[in-house]
Amino acid sequence: MGVLNSILTALFDTVYAVLGLGPRWLSLTILSGVVGVIALIVVRFCSNQAAIGRVKDDIKANMLSLKLFKDELRVVLKAQARLVWAGLRMQYYMVPPLLVMFIPFVLVAAQMGLRYQWRPVETNEPTDLTVLLRPDVPDSALNWVLETPDGVEASPSGRGVRINADRKAVVWNLTGRKPGRHVLTLQNGTESVTKEFVVGRDQDRVSPMRPGPSLLDRILYPAERPFGSDSIIQSIAVTYPPRDSWFHGADWWVFWFLVLSIVIALLLKPVFGVKL
């Protein structure tokens, strides 16, 4: 999973190096269109198009029956039953392309989330860094020391605030004084780890979490190498603010990404000769 995430992150960094030259709404629209076209191609070659065509003909025929024989109760009930059956058959024929698209779609959405869901902290804007540890580790494992590069200040300096109640964690308050991608280093005497910290409006991608062994976290936060199951660290997270936009901001981008992908696919399906 780590190798795949590294490849995809590098690929999307290259893509956004070009798309980032324009406004963010444009990059979201272009990527939605690309995904819509790819979905059409997958449906074209991974579904039974002939069977889908027959189902669509059945739907049209039964809709016509409802219109022509609306006063005949028996005919109406039979037509309605056939419409329900046709709808179920249509869903069945769409299962193979949906299965093919599911994993790639999730991986693409995770990469897009790093660029639309959160924004980098601004210069002099405070935020938090949290090191979450396994609950079974001894209290001595909380003795982590944070080393910050030039341009980043941490409070408290050195050892962070230890939390040992419902979870075992160490927390620092961070303030970026200079824009850029900074590397934070954490040490506890036996282990040394790093975490990316992004500051400045001109920066694009952020990495809210360096994940641990959780598969879901590895999928949702793919930018940094995850910790192995033998590490005492479950995750290292930076609290980045959500992007503020009704179109390409936090949570909204997912909605518009889905809507645009579907609309573009429906508009282009005659071009690709796809039955949906």
Dump pLDDT digits (tens) for 30-59. Answer: 999 999 999 999 999 999 999 999 999 999
Question: Is the same domain home to 132 and 112?
Answer: no
- Compute CA distances 141 → 116, 156, 159, 250, whole Å: 35, 18, 12, 35
The strand order across the sheet containing 180-187 reads: 158-159, 145-147, 180-187, 192-199
Task: Please indicate, yes or no, whether residues 168 and 229 belong to a single structural domain of this protein.
Answer: yes
Domain co-membership, 165 together with 85: no
Q: Which domain holds residue 264?
A: 2-117+249-272
Residues 6 and 95 in one domain: yes
In the chain (276 residues long), the average pLDDT of successive 10-residue segments reads: 89 92 93 95 93 91 86 86 92 94 95 95 95 87 90 87 82 94 91 94 87 94 93 94 94 96 94 87
Cut 0.85: pTM above it: yes
% of residues, the chain, pLDDT over 90: 72
> Per the omega criterion (within 30 degrees of 0), is the bond before 156 cis?
yes
Do the beta carbons of residue 158 and residue 119 sit within 8 Å? no
Quick one: 30 and 112 in the same domain?
yes
Q: Specify the pLDDT at position 130.
A: 95
Confirm whether 243 is domain-assigned: no
Together in a domain, 48 and 92: yes
**Do the domain assignments include residue 244?**
no
Decide if 110 contacts 222 (C-beta within 8 A): yes
Q: CA separation (Å) from 274 to 46, 92, 174, 228, 268?
A: 11, 16, 52, 44, 9
Looking at the structure, tell me whether residues 153 and 136 fall in a common domain.
yes
Q: Could you tell me if 199 and 121 are in contact, meaning their C-beta atoms sit under 8 angstroms apart? A: yes
Chain Cα centroid distance, residue 119: 14
Q: How many CA atoms lie within 13 A of 205 on its CB side?
A: 22
